[in-house]
Amino acid sequence: MEIIIQPTAARATCVAARLLAGLIRKKPSAVLGMATGSTPLALYRELVALKLNWRKVRTFNLDEYVGTSPEHPQSYHHFMWENLFGQVNIDKQNVRIPDGLAKDIPKFCASYEKQIRAAGGIDLQVLGIGTDGHIGFNEPTSSLASRTRIKTLTPQTRKDNARFFGSEAEVPHHCITMGIGTILDARHCVLLAFGRNKARAIAEAVEGPITSMNPASALQFHPKTTVFLDEAAAAELRLKDYYRWVYDNKPDWQKI
């Protein structure tokens, strides 16, 4: 894993945006895995500001709430169109987000996996992390080999996400999420985490044992993961001085 610690979330986001923009310029038909939540919001704003050509880009979102229509203001469909897709020249046909209203959820999940494969796999997957270490909505004890499927949100995640819904009672109990196995198949995983409330989950994911109790720790198995942190989210990393040293001494050809 490459750990990039920046003084602020804004600076870390800026470097991450450069990385994504570089991929889209180099490969105009790149397949991107997208994430929602508060963490990638600034990243999407930066990408919009860069005025990239999204015409051939294809996207697959990590997850969606079950029972939530695309028009629902808290649906991830709505989030993506509001914050990114509606502001760039992406072709609607190239956007895939799990269908929260799917009648046959297992069938939908199998077809989502098939569509990812048919697109040639995901070139770069954007990830946030939950305070419990979840990636996508793969909550603790999710199988590290899991594929796209229905999951039940933990009480902690429902509490964390209540701020978007107005009250905890309105947060759905279920979601469709890519599995950890699905995420690990992406050619490059880019995890962003900002703020002190993510510091424990990040320390466990990066330096702890690989365990389904912290699903993000499975990224230690991934050959190419880049983790972007602000100082607060890096607070509990034992080797943070080493990660800074590595970043400051990167050979020119490796620089983002």
- Contact pick of 100, 128, 172, 215 for ligand PGA (by CB under 6 A): 128
Q: Is 134 a catalytic residue?
A: yes
Name the catalytic one among 46, 132, 160, 204. Answer: 132
Asked if 129 is part of the footprint of ligand PGA (rule: CB under 6 A), the reply reads: yes
C-alpha–C-alpha distance, residues 38 and 164, integer Å:
10
Q: Is 241 a catalytic residue?
A: no
Q: Is 71 a catalytic residue?
A: no
* Smallest separation (angstroms) from ligand PGA to the CB of 187: 21
Name the catalytic one among 64, 113, 139, 204. Answer: 139
The count of chain residues that interact with ligand PGA, using the rule CB under 6 A, is: 6
Q: How far is CA 255 from CA 15, 18, 187, in A?
A: 10, 11, 18
* Smallest separation (angstroms) from ligand PGA to the CB of 136: 7
Token pair 């793969």 is at which residue? 138
Specify the residue, 94 or 161, whose C-beta has the smaller distance to ligand PGA: 161
Q: How far is CA 185 from CA 120, 122, 133, 144, 196, in A?
A: 11, 7, 19, 12, 29
- Contact pick of 37, 133, 172, 215 for ligand PGA (by CB under 6 A): 37
Q: Kindly indicate which of the ranges 128-136, 146-154, 170-178, 228-236 contains the residues binding ligand PGA, using the contact rule CB under 6 A.
A: 128-136
- Contact pick of 100, 130, 133, 172 for ligand PGA (by CB under 6 A): 130
Q: CA 142 from chain center: how many Å?
A: 16
Q: Kindly indicate which of the ranges 4-12, 36-44, 68-76, 85-93 contains the residues binding ligand PGA, using the contact rule CB under 6 A.
A: 36-44
Asked if 38 is part of the footprint of ligand PGA (rule: CB under 6 A), the reply reads: yes
Specify the residue, 38 or 141, whose C-beta has the smaller distance to ligand PGA: 38
* Smallest separation (angstroms) from ligand PGA to the CB of 129: 6
Q: Is 222 a catalytic residue?
A: no
* Smallest separation (angstroms) from ligand PGA to the CB of 169: 19
Asked if 39 is part of the footprint of ligand PGA (rule: CB under 6 A), the reply reads: yes
What is the contact surface with ligand PGA in residues (CB under 6 A)? Answer: 37-39, 128-130
The set of catalytic residues is: 63, 132, 134, 139
